[in-house]
A and B are shown apart, each in its own frame.
Chain A
Amino acid sequence: MILTLRTTQTLSSALAVALLLCPLSVQAVDVPSSVLSAQAKRIAAIRKASASTVMVFAAGGKGGGSGVLISPDGYALSNFHVVKPAGTAMKCALNDGQLYDAVVVGVDPVGDVALIKMIGRDDFPFAKMTDSDKVRLGDWCFAVGNPFLLATDFQPTVTYGIVSGVHRYQYPAGTLLEYTDCIQTDASINPGNSGGPLFNANGDLIGINGRGSFEKRGRVNVGVGYAISINQIKHFLGYLHSGRFLDHATLGANMVTDENGAVVVSNIIESSDAYRRGLRYGDQLLSFGGRPINTVNGFKNVLGIYPRGWRVPISFLHDGKQIDTFVRLAGVHSPEELLAKVQPNRKPPARPPEQEKPKDDPPEAKPPAKNIKKTGFPPAVAPFIEARHGYANYYFNKLNQNRVWDKYIGLTKGDKLPGNWIIEGQIGNLGAATIHLQANRVDAKLPQGTTFADLDADLNTQDAPRGSGGMLVALHMWKHIMQVSPTRFGEVYYLGSMPTPKHSQKQDVLIGTHSVIECRYYFDPKSGHLTSIEMYPDLGVDPCELYFSDYKEVNGHLLPHHIEVVHGEVIYGELIISSYQFPTAVKGAN
C-alpha cells in the first residue's frame, strides 16, 4: 500500500492539486469496472516488478545503482559502469527490506552489462524476461530503481513513461559502452537508475536502463533515457555466466550508405570470415542476423546484439547474385587489449580513476564517499570468488565447465575408454570407412582412399583427409579430451552458449587448446550430449566441423552413430557408424 501511495503520488501530484481546489470531483464514485481493473492491473504490475528490483550499493560508499533479479537462485543484471567501481563484491537490497551480499559473475564492458549473483536464498523473486522485439513505439513502460541512491530505505522509485523509440543506436565512448538496438523511453531515468529494469505495462522485463542524453542541462533526466534491450542480453547471458570479461563482435567489414540509400561494404579485412564467405568491397548488405538492413545504424544495431564468436546469418549481393550464408563474428578487441581497458582495481585507490566517459554520460550516482575500511571479502561471498588473470570471477567459469563436462562424461563414460578406438561404418553411400584412433597416429580407410594423421608432428599442418579441414585430427581431439579430461587436456574454459547453424537452441561451449590447436566443443544443455566440434588448425582459416547425432548405447557408453563433417560451409561427408571397438579398454568398464 505504501508502495502504491508513493508511485501514484508522483504520477498524479498535479491532479491531486487540481482536485484539492475542486472538491466536487471527489464525489465521483461510480467508476466503471474496466477502469478499476486497469488500475488494479497497473498496481499488480508495479508490485510484481518492484519485488525483483535490486538496489546496488558499492562497498565503502563508492556509489551504486540498480539491478534486477532474473532467477530464483540470485542471478541479477546490472550495468558494467555500476559494478566497476564496486569491484568483485557488493551489497544489494530488495524491497523486502533485506540487504544481501552479491558477487560479480561476468562483465560485458562494451554492452555495459554485468551479471551478479546475490547470495543467501534460492527463492528470490525474479523478473520475467519478455521478447523486447515486440516492444512498440508508444507502449507504456516503467522504470524501477535507485535514482540518486534514494533507496536507503530499500524502497525503489517507480517512474512511468512510454517507449519513445525502438532499435536506437548510441555511439560508444572509444570502444566501450556502446548502446545498440536499445529502447528509448521518456520514463525518468536518472543517475542511480543505471543497471535497473525497464518493464512493460505487464511488469515483464524489456530492458536494462543505463544511459540518458545529458548535454547542457546537467546530469538529470531530460526526457531521453536508453535501456539495453533484454533480447540483446539474452544473447550474452550464457557468456555472462562464464565469469569472463566479454567482447563484442565485428564483421571485419565497414559499411556505408551509398547515394541510392543501399548499405554497401566500404572496407573488408581479408582474414575475416566474411571475406572467406565471399563478401567483397562494394557488395550490398541485404540482411544480417535475420533483419533487413536499410541503414548503417541498422547494421551496427545487429552487430551489437551478438557476442564475439557467434555465427550469424547474412545475405548480400555480390556481382548481382544474392548469397545467403552464415558468418563467424570476430572480437572487437584482442583479449589483452580488452583487459587493459576494464581490469577492475582489486585494491581500489583512495581516489578511483575517472572512468572513460561517453558523450552521453551513463547515469551513475556518486554519493559523498564515506571512509569505511575494507579488509578482504565478507565470509558470505568469499566461497564465490576466485581471482584469475583474464576473468571477472573465475569461480563461475569453473562452475559451468564442471556442469557441462560432468553431465557429458556421465553419459559417454569416455574416460573409461582408454587406449585405441576403432570406428567402422561408411561415408554416406560412397562406401565403407574404418578409422583407427591411436595414441600417436590416426589411420583411415575411406572410400576416397587411405590417409592418416601423425599426432607426433605439428597438428596444425595436417588437414587429412583432403577437403575435410582435418577430420582425423578433429576426431582425435574428441577422443583425447575424454580420455585425459579437460584438466589435463590443455587450457580449457567455458565460453558461454550460442546457437549453431544446425541448433537454434543455444549450445554450451567449452574451448580447449591442445598442441596449438583450438577446439570448440558444443554441448546440448538439455540432453548433455556433445553436438559438435570445431577444430581450428589456425586462426584465419575455416575450421573442420563435426556434427554428432544418433546417440546409441555401446556397452554402457552413449556414443554418436552419425557424424557430419563440414568444412567452409561445404559438407565433406556423413560418417555413418556401425560399430565402435575398444581393443585396449578394460573389460567390463562402465
Chain B
Amino acid sequence: MSLLFAKRLPLLKPLLIATLVLSGLATSSQADDLALASNTVQSKMVKIYGAGGLKGLEAYQSGFLISGDGHILTVWSYVLDTDYITVVLDDGRKFEGKIVGADPRLEMAVLKIDSQELDHFSLSKSIVLQPGARILTISNLFGVATGNEPCSVLHGIVAATTSLNARRGAFKSPYQGPIYVLDAISNNPGAAGGALTDSYGNLAGLLGKELRNAQNGTWLNYALPIAQLTTAVEDIIAGRTRPRSFDETVNRPDNPHTLKSLGIRMVPDVLAKTPPFVDSITRKSVAEQKGIQPDDLILYLNNRRIDSLNTLVNEIALIDKIDDITVVIQRDNNLIDITLPGQ
C-alpha cells in the first residue's frame, strides 16, 4: 500500500499543491459567509403542508417568498392538490396558502398568503451560476424543521449546467429545460420548492422534485434556474393565467366556441370541482383531427388554468369562434400542447 503510494506521489505532488491552494482560498474567503448566508436566507423560506401523508408521499414541501405581499414560489405537486394548504413562515407564523397559479410544464406554482412587509427574494435580482460555483441549498428536507425552526442548509458546488432532455428517457419529468446539477444531496423528500443560492445567499434556482433515473435508479440533485421561471411567474402574478369567466366586466363574444362545436364530450359534471376529463370525441370533428383523445385531462385553455369542468365551460364561452384555442392536456404522464383552429 505505502509502496504503491510512493510511486504515485511524484505525479500527484504538483496537483496536490495546487488543490491545497484552491481549497484553502475557498475556506478563508467564505468561512464566515456561509454561516451568514445560511442564517439571513431563513426569513425568506417557508414550510408548506398539504395533501399526502401516505407512504412515500410526504405531505410537505418547501418554498420561498418572492414578494413582500406574500407571494411564494414552490413546485407544482400533489401536496398542493388540496383546499387546505398551510404555509409556515420562518418566525413560526401559520397562514393559509392560496394557489395563485401554476405552470405544469415548469412544474412550478405560485402561492399567496395574506400578509405584508415580508422579507423575500427578488426574482429580478436572481443570479446565474457557472459550473464550479459554491452553492447553498435551503429547504425543509425530510420535514425536519417545524414551526420557527430554521430550514436545513446543505452546501456544495454546481457540478454542471445542462438540460434535462439531454438524457431523454432517463428522467421522466414534464420539465425538459436547462438545470443546474448539484453535488450537494439536495433533492430529498420535502426539499422540492427550496432555494438554490450562491454562498452569499443570492437566489439562483428552485430545487426541483425528486427525480430518479429510470435506467439506473440513481437520483438527480438539481435546480431550475430562476431565469427559466421568471416570465411564467410574472404572468401568474399579473393574473394572465387566471380564468376570466368569473369577471363580470369581460367582453363576451356573440358567437363563442362550444365544447359541442369542437366535438368534445366531457365526463358528467358530478362534483363541486369535477376534473375536466374528456369522455369521447365526435368523429370527424376539429378535436379528432387535432388528436384529442378520450381520457385526456385539460389543464390549460389559452394559457389559463382550468381547475374544473365548470371553469372549462365558462372559459370556452369567452373565446370567439373565429379565434384559435390552445390547450394543454395531460395524457398519462405527458403534457401535450394542441391548437384548435378557429372557424
Task: Bin the interface of chain B by size.
Answer: 35 or more
Interface flag for B37 (CB, 8 Å): yes
The residue from A39, A139, A165, A223 contacting B27, defined by CB atoms under 8 A apart: A39
> Contacts A8-B19, A39-B27, A162-B34; is A2 near B39 (CB within 8 Å)?
no
Interface flag for B214 (CB, 8 Å): no
B47 CB, nearest partner CB in chain A, Å: 12
The residue from B16, B34, B148 contacting A8, defined by CB atoms under 8 A apart: B16
What are the residues of chain B within 8 A of A8 when measuring CB–CB? 16, 19-20, 23
| Additional A-B contacts beyond A19-B15, A165-B152 (9; CB < 8 A) | A15-B22, A39-B20, A162-B34, A184-B144, A215-B142, A224-B188, A261-B92, A261-B93, A295-B148
On A, residues with C-beta under 8 Å from B are: 2, 5, 8, 11-12, 14-16, 18-20, 25-26, 28, 31, 34-39, 42, 136-140, 153, 161-168, 170, 184, 186, 201, 213, 215-217, 221-224, 257, 261, 294-295, 297-298
Q: Is A186 touching B34 in the complex (CB atoms < 8 A)?
A: no
A188 and chain B: residue at smallest CB distance: B185
Interface flag for B94 (CB, 8 Å): yes
A297 CB, nearest partner CB in chain B, Å: 6
In the assembly, what is the distance between CA of A11 and CA of B151, in Å?
25
A361 CB, nearest partner CB in chain B, Å: 13
Q: Is B149 touching A223 in the complex (CB atoms < 8 A)?
A: no
B333 CB, nearest partner CB in chain A, Å: 19
What are the residues of chain B within 8 A of A137 when measuring CB–CB? 35, 38-39, 42, 150, 153
Secondary structure type dominating chain A contacts:
mixed
Interface flag for B56 (CB, 8 Å): yes
Interface flag for B1 (CB, 8 Å): yes
The residue from A2, A39, A166 contacting B23, defined by CB atoms under 8 A apart: A39
What are the residues of chain B within 8 A of A12 when measuring CB–CB? 19-20, 22-23
What are the residues of chain A within 8 A of B25 when measuring CB–CB? 31, 35
B136 CB, nearest partner CB in chain A, Å: 8
Q: Is B19 touching A16 in the complex (CB atoms < 8 A)?
A: yes
What are the residues of chain A within 8 A of B19 when measuring CB–CB? 8, 12, 15-16, 19
What are the residues of chain A within 8 A of B144 when measuring CB–CB? 165, 168, 170, 184, 213, 224
Number of A-B contacts (CB under 8 A): 151
Interface flag for B189 (CB, 8 Å): yes
Q: Is A14 touching B157 in the complex (CB atoms < 8 A)?
A: yes
Q: Is A222 touching B38 in the complex (CB atoms < 8 A)?
A: no
The residue from B22, B36, B149, B188 contacting A167, defined by CB atoms under 8 A apart: B149
What are the residues of chain B within 8 A of A163 when measuring CB–CB? 153
CB neighbors of A among B272-321 (8 A): none
Q: Is B34 touching A26 in the complex (CB atoms < 8 A)?
A: no
As a 0/1 sequence over residues 47 to 58 of chain B, the CB contacts with chain A under 8 angstroms (1 = contact) are 000000000100
- The 10 A-B pairs of least Cβ separation, nearest first, read A138-B38, A223-B185, A39-B24, A38-B28, A138-B35, A295-B147, A12-B19, A186-B154, A138-B34, A164-B152
> Contacts A39-B24, A224-B152; is A20 near B15 (CB within 8 Å)?
yes
In the assembly, what is the distance between CA of A217 and CA of B56, in Å?
12
In the assembly, what is the distance between CA of A424 and CA of B8, in Å?
84
